[in-house]
Amino acid sequence: MQSTPLRIGLDARVGPTLRRPTFVAETATGERRELHQPSWVRIQGILWVGVVF
């Protein structure tokens, strides 16, 4: 029986957020309330698993 080699990897990236849209809700009375605005820094990570043959 032959074993199959597995590979596990992690990719992490950090960088600035170029577009920062503001998410706003407007009430029935016309009042606007800010709900969320993305931060200046973005962190992204990917975990992957692969089989090498």
Mean pLDDT of the chain: 89
- Taking the complete model, does pTM exceed 0.75, yes or no? no
| Secondary structure (DSSP) of 24-35 | EEE-TTS-EEEE
| Spacing of C-alpha 10 from chain mean position | 14
Of 32 and 52, the structure prediction assigns the larger pLDDT to 32
Strand partners, 35: none
pLDDT at 46: 96
- Residue 3 banded pLDDT, cuts 50, 70, 90: low
What mean pLDDT comes out for the span 34-42?
89
What mean pLDDT comes out for the span 29-42?
89
Domain boundaries, the chain: 1-32
What mean pLDDT comes out for the span 33-47?
91
